[in-house]
Amino acid sequence: MSTDARYDGTPMTGRAPAESVGRILVTEAQINQRVRELGAQITADYAGKKPLLVAVLRGAYMFLADLSREIDLPVEIDFMAVSSYGNQTASSGVVRILKDLDEDLEGRHVIVVEDIIDSGLTLSYLRRNLKNRAAASVEVCALLVREGRQKVDEELAYVGFELPPDFVVGYGLDASGQFRNLPYIAEYTQ
């Protein structure tokens, strides 16, 4: 899923300095196409139901916004903020809930919308936590999965792209709060 594109120093309206953004791994067009496909798949799988989309902040906000518009069902949206990274580029393995849900999950069909699955430890914790709230079902829709990094075997119902284990930025993903507004997924080179 890699392209040979590399940021060439052309001004990008202040989006990303050349020294921080490397090869583009997933283009804007590829993201748009895959989000449409995932929306259609969720629409078919949840026909007759009203799923609750739970975005994991902050990285999944852009993916959630685009995905929700591609689901042809009544959906509700809520947000959770969890942290296992802090300001690091690798997960600490310690999960903290920074913002909890506003919605009651009892009897609800929940789809956790994640930006990226790395070790899977945060996702495993989050799934257990949500299932314990009596949700009818809890599935995951992840934009990205880093190949070979999972420490727990989590079944993912919906996956956008599998990527090498490099640290990436763009389309909601950041490095110390920067680069979320890039319309593509690229290597972070610093």
45-97: per-residue pLDDT in tens? 999 999 999 998 888 999 999 999 999 999 999 999 987 655 554 555 677 78
For residue 44, what are the contacts with CB-CB under 8 A and spacing of at least 6? none
Helices then strands, counting H and E runs in the chain, come out as 3, 9
Active site residues: 118
In a domain, 105, yes or no: yes
Q: What is the pLDDT of residue 124?
A: 84
Exposure on the CB side of residue 175, measured as CA atoms within 13 A: 19
In a domain, 15, yes or no: no
Domain that residue 30 falls in = 21-86+95-188
CATH number at residue 44: 3.40.50.2020
pLDDT score of 135 more than 90: yes
| Stated pTM of the model | 0.83
91-119: per-residue pLDDT in tens? 556 777 889 899 999 999 999 999 998 87
- Mean pLDDT (whole number) for 142-154: 71
| Amino acid (1-letter code) at residue 106 | E
As for how many domains the chain has, the answer is 1
Q: How many CB atoms lie within 10 A of CB 65?
A: 14
Dist. CA 157–CA 151, nearest whole Å: 18
Q: Which residue has tokens 């809520």?
A: 78
Dist. CA 163–CA 168, nearest whole Å: 9
Dist. CA 47–CA 22, nearest whole Å: 41
In a domain, 11, yes or no: no
The strand pair at 52-57 and 109-117 is best described as parallel
